[in-house]
Amino acid sequence: MSTLPPSPPSLANLRREIDSIDEQVHNLLMQRADIIDRLISVKQTQEVGSAFRPAREADMMRRLVQRHHGILPLDTVESIWRVIIATFTYVQAPFSVHADLSLGESAMRDSARFHFGFTVPFVPHFSAQAAVDGVSRSKGDLALVSATSSRTPWWVALETAGAPKIIARLPFIERADHPAALPVFVVSRVADSAMVTEVEMWSVRVSGWNAEIARALSPLAEIVAVPDTAFDGAALLISITAATSLEAVKAALVEAGASLRSSALVGSHATRYMVPPTGAPKT
């Protein structure tokens, strides 16, 4: 005697399952908020300023990508988690996002909203220096500035002790079709123990800078350069990874004909997580 296949679930049953899951997600978010409320009491975050934890955040986002599967787009789940992280950070210690719009207003706004949502106040500026100055005057705000080009050496303001530092580079989860693909540095004040130092950021000033020297350094490090009239040369923002060293970059500068004037550590950030193309194995 043949057995009839089970009948497919009804639309009503499937919708009840979705409603149940939605309720569980909401309850879990509220439970997370309760834990954050207790965390505030334990850490007294309101008294110490910024609640950013770049190292922990990078670890959370790596684990998110590694466990993700199914039809839900990574863009969606990344943005959801970014907003969750940013919002609960804001609950611990309210902050604003100061953004430099001078090199592209719509792309910078997309980056800010994708990574920090709409609860966190957005403060527009028309230069990177103005955005960094806004952070310098604040208790725990952050700034978003271009990671690939600049009209002014805004990073020089990060050289002094007690100044804000570069704490992250976004987008952290890199892929070819990222919806908020504008490369930006995040500048803020955080506890030394919260920093991630996989990529060091150095402010280096040189004299004798030219295109030939820039080409000589390009295999060693990512560099943002602007003219520096004080030294008749350039102010450089150099990303130093584990694959090289500051000393190697300095040696290459001298060998190429530049004269080193000064160098100062102005922050650090996590190595970007590269997502393989669809269908390629994850490494």
Q: What is the pLDDT of residues 108-131, one digit of tens each?
A: 999 999 999 999 999 999 999 999
How far apart CA 282 and CA 81 sit, in angstroms, is: 21
Given a contact cutoff of 8 angstroms between Cβ atoms, the answer to whether 187 and 132 are in contact is yes
Task: Give residue 2's pLDDT band: very low, low, confident or very high (50, 70, 90).
Answer: low
Q: What is the DSSP string of 47-58?
A: HH-----HHHHH
Domains along the sequence of the chain with CATH? 49-196 (no CATH), 200-268 (3.30.70)
Q: Does the pLDDT at position 48 exceed 60?
A: no
Q: Which of 90, 87, 54, 86 is nearest to 191 (CA)?
A: 54
Q: Does the pLDDT at position 279 exceed 80?
A: no
Q: Which residues pair with 237 in a beta bridge?
A: 203, 224
Altogether, the residues listed in the chain come to a count of 283
pTM over 0.85: yes
Q: What is the 3-state secondary structure (H, E, C) of 69-120?
A: CCCCCHHHHHHHHHHHHHHHHHHHCCCCEEEECCCCHHHHHHHHHHHHCCCC
Read off the pLDDT of residues 221-259 as tens digits, 9 standing for 90 and up. 999 999 987 777 999 999 999 999 999 999 999 999 999
